[in-house]
Every structure is written in structure tokens, then in C-alpha cells.
Amino acid sequence: MKHLPNKGLSPIGGPLMPQGKQLLNNSLLNKGTAFPDEERDALGLRGLLPPKVFTLEEQCTRVLRNFRRFKEPLEKYIYLSNLQNRNETLFYRIIQDNAEEMIPIIYTPTVGQACLEYGVIYSSPRGVFLSIKDKGRIAEILRHWPMLDVRMIVVTDGERILGLGDLGAHGMGIPVGKLALYTACAGLHPYYTLPITIDVGTDNESLHADPFYIGLKQKRVRGREYDEFIEEFVQAVQEVYPRAMLQWEDFGNANAFHLLQRYRRKICSFNDDIQGTAAVALAGLIASLRETGGTLKEQKILFLGAGEAGTGIADLFTAAAMDEGLTEQEARSRCWFVDSQGLVVKGRPGKLAEHKVPYAHDFKQISSLLQAVEELRPTALIGVSGQARAFTQEIVTKMAAINERPVIFALSNPTSKAECTAEEAYTWTDGRAVFASGSPFPAVTLNGRTYLPGQGNNVYIFPGVGLGALVSESSEVTDGMFLTAARTLASLVGTEDLAVGRIYPALNKIREVSIRIAVAVAEEAYHDRLAQRTQPSDIEKDIRARVFEPVYHDYI
């Protein structure tokens, strides 16, 4: 990968630099009021901008002032989206310098509300919409995107947006947000990114009746027709963007597992809901051992929710426990699941989904989570169910009675879907819980101590994994890379983090975290002979030289 070079010779304009209003309308090249006088004259901007020339720093001060005047998170989201569409360098400088304040706005939890209201707040196109009606024309439509060398595509079909369910075409907020995080958190140049929403309809009847819904008002296409459309899509990506990798995002369970297994070795790709969630949760479990003691292989984990996130975590935990000496069967026996039908066990009435079968153990049928906690006595309770407040006081108190330091992860997004709040987890355990959540919670003060709860969000994993795979030009993103990413993330949790109850690094360190993970993933790619480029003498130096920094370049 290369950056947009200076002197106006860029992949966007080449030697024919856009001028005048065309330049001001190009979000990747626009500097707004920061264009110096000589560029205003040379590029036809004189009179199109107010005469005062502002520095990037002065522009940031203005943006922050306006941003903080808004009271509602969705208003802040809309403001930042408009800024992104106007001036991406300024947008990413603001995000990068104010990560803890901004990331919850451009992604979880605010992006969930943005998706719910996407039809109302939609103002300008960003990304590519591919509908089932475009079958046979996907490659042609991809070529409508103005960037010629896309390297990272985040794609969704909108069926399982966070914990909100089927939002159809309104799910576009997810790919847009994820790719913004790739740039802000890992330094992937926005030129190389493409958000895509696949619209095959929606089974959400409320969207069919919504006059502002932007997608197809029809039932979801499934089965053979769906598979053929996805196959054409993958082939079109390989044809139009042969160096691109795919991140599958927020697909329904059946399609998520199916697509990952079918395409992970046909095109460099991964599923963040399965593999990214697994890595960030495993990193939290590893880091929590510094508070609870013991080894990873000794843990017993009880999951509420047996979908792609939960079984993905269990699969990666199994790999890590096997590295510590357990057999595969022994490692899987440490993972238990409660789904909508109760405890997942062998012999339960009805057919189990394929991804649940490895975790169906010989045990009696149990209908409730509380009873499962009482009977199994887990060391960790992980919520990936999308069921708000499912971790009741009785359940959390029982975990605290069983464990001196109970591990409680309420990972469902957005905040409204979290299985419990940070305040509840700390209060009900008298401050003894090792807590993490998928969306941010405010600080909690209890018994004179202030806790800063850790956010077990995939933002700690996928930007670094993607960057490492892209820079090494890996042909595949392996489970081993996610295990490496988890261990790297856990190693970056400092004593100062643990002292305030946090088992993930502060978000203001996310750029460094992502680069360290990218280095580890690239090393794995070179070691496993998956890299398509020659290994540099210094992998870390090579990666740091390639990351995008949001600063203005000279155009003349």
C-alpha cells in the first residue's frame, strides 16, 4: 500500500489535479479553509473560500466547539458524517486525537441508533448498494465506485445489525463505521476502503411500511438465489479489485457461518462477528487472569447466547486451551451455552444448529441461566445474546458467591442490549467483578473506589488484523492470526489499566494497539508462507511507514 503522494500526484486525480469546486467537493483532497494562498491561485479556489487561511489545528478547534454544542449522540453522529463527506483529513484528525470521545459516536453505541433512523438521516451516498435486482451486473456496478484500487471492503446484508436485528439496507451505517475505524485506529488510507450493503430484501415488516426506508420492500431472498448472488459478488470483487480483502459483517447466523467457511480460502476474508469478537473476548479472559489467578485452561465459561459471537469465542478459547495442553474434547468441555431453549446439551429435543453441536455436552436439561450458573459453577459468564438485563441481580450475586473474582462480560451491542450495566456488575458483587462490556459505560464509584470499566469492543482487534493482512498481502486470514491478535492485545493491558478495573487498554492508545497487532499478524503471515510479498527486514518499521496520518499535503 502507498499513501496519496504529495504534489497533487494522487491515485484520485493523477497528474490532472481537480480544481475549483470539483476539488472542494473531493473529500479526500479538500482542505477547506486551510488551502494556502498560492494553492488557491493555482487551483482555481480564489473567491470560493473566505480569505482567512486557517491551520489544521485551528480547524480542529472549530470542529470540536461545534461538535460539543450538540447534546444528543445522534446529532453528533450526523455532524461528524457531514464532516467526513466534506473533508476526510480533518475528520480523521478529530477522531484520532479524541478517540475516547469520538469512537462511541461514529460506532457503538450511537451507530445502532443511526441505523435505526438511517432512512430519515440519509443525506448523501457513501459506499455501494447492491440489490438482488442487480444480479448479472455486479462487476459493472462496482466499477462505478471512483476509487480504482480498493483494498478493504466491509460488506453486510443487514440481517443482524448489532443486537437490533434485521434492518435491511439501513445497515449501511455498519460498513461505513467499521471502515472509518480502520482509518482512525489503524491508519488504513480511506482511499482504499469501500463500504458495501447487499440488499436482498428484509423480513422486518416495519421497514416495509416505513415511507423513508431506502431499500427493497420485499421479503428476503434466501436459498439458491441468495447463494448465487453472493457468488457473483465475490467473483466481481476479485475481478474489479483483485487485491481487496473482504470483511463479512452482521450477517444472520446461518449465512455468517456458511459464507465464512465457503469463502475464507477463496478470497482473503474474515467474519468480524465470529472471529473479531472471539479475539477481543479471549484477550479479556487472558488479561483477567492477572486479577483472578489460575490459567486459561482451568476456566469454565458459561455463555448466554449461542450464535456466531458465542461459538466464535468458544472456538478460539478451545484453540488457546489446546496450546496449554488440553485435548480438543477437554477444551470444548470448558465451554457451556444457554440459548433460547435452555442449556445446550446432547439429547435435547429438536435438532441443534451445526455450530452448537461441538458444545452439546452430556448433562441434564436445564431451562434457566440461573440454574445453569448454580449447577455448572462457571468462572466466567459471557453475554452475547442481545437480551438486555438478562444478567439479573440474582445471577450476578450467585457468580460472586461461587468466585472470589467473578468474570462478567456483557458484550451485546448497543448499550441498550447489554446483559447488565457496569454499575450493576460492580454493585451486586461489592466491587469484586472483573467486568467488560461491548459498548462503553461511565465510571462507577463504589466504596470509595472508582472503576473505569473496560470496553470489550472489536475495534481493538479488526483494524490491526486487517492492516497486518493487507500490508503482508496475505492470501488468507487464519484463526491463528486472531489467536495471535488476542494474545498481543492482552499483553498491552498495563498495571495502570488493571488498577482501575479495566482489562483493555484505554481507547486513546488504540492506534498503537492496532499497529502492534498488525505487526504480529504480518509476522504470522510471513511465517506461515501466506504473504504474497517479500518479508521486509523490519516488519514494524515497514508497517509504520505505511500508515495514514491525517495531515494536509502540499499540492503545488
* Among 86, 227, 247, 98, CA closest to 177: 247
Q: Which of 31, 76, 77, 107 is catalytic?
A: 107
User: Residue ranges of the alpha helices (H) in 293-437?
Assistant: 308-323, 328-332, 369-376, 393-402, 422-428
CA 385 to chain centre: 17
Phi, psi of 239 (to 5 degrees): -75, -50
Helix H, strand E, coil C: the string for 70-136 is CCCHHHHHHHHHHHHHHCHHHHHHHHHHCHHHHHHHHCCCHHHHHHHCHHHHCCCCCCEEEEHHHCC
Please tell me what DSSP assigns to residue 468.
H
Distance CA 322, CA 341 (A): 29
* Among 268, 265, 267, 271, CA closest to 311: 271
Q: Which of 178, 356, 398, 417 is catalytic?
A: 178
Distance CA 294, CA 65 (A): 48
DSSP string for residues in 8-38: T-BTTTBTS---HHHHHT-TTT--GGG--HH
| Residue whose C-alpha cell is 456496478 | 141
Helix (H/G/I), strand (E/B), else coil: 254:
helix
Phi, psi of 492 (to 5 degrees): -90, 0
Asked if 512 contacts 533 with a C-beta cutoff of 8 angstroms, the reply is no
Asked if 245 contacts 477 with a C-beta cutoff of 8 angstroms, the reply is yes
Asked if 469 contacts 531 with a C-beta cutoff of 8 angstroms, the reply is no
Is 107 an active-site residue? yes
Count of CB atoms situated within 10 Å of the CB of 92: 22
Please tell me what DSSP assigns to residue 447.
T
- Helices and strands counted in the chain (H then E): 24, 14
Close Cβ partners of 316 (under 8 Å, ≥ 6 residues apart): 275, 278, 279, 281, 282, 479, 482, 483, 486
Phi, psi of 2 (to 5 degrees): -130, 160
Asked if 158 contacts 202 with a C-beta cutoff of 8 angstroms, the reply is yes
Nearest-5° Cα angle at 445, 390 to 424? 10
Q: How would you classify the pairing of strands 269-271 and 245-248?
A: parallel
Which residues are catalytically annotated?
A: 107, 178
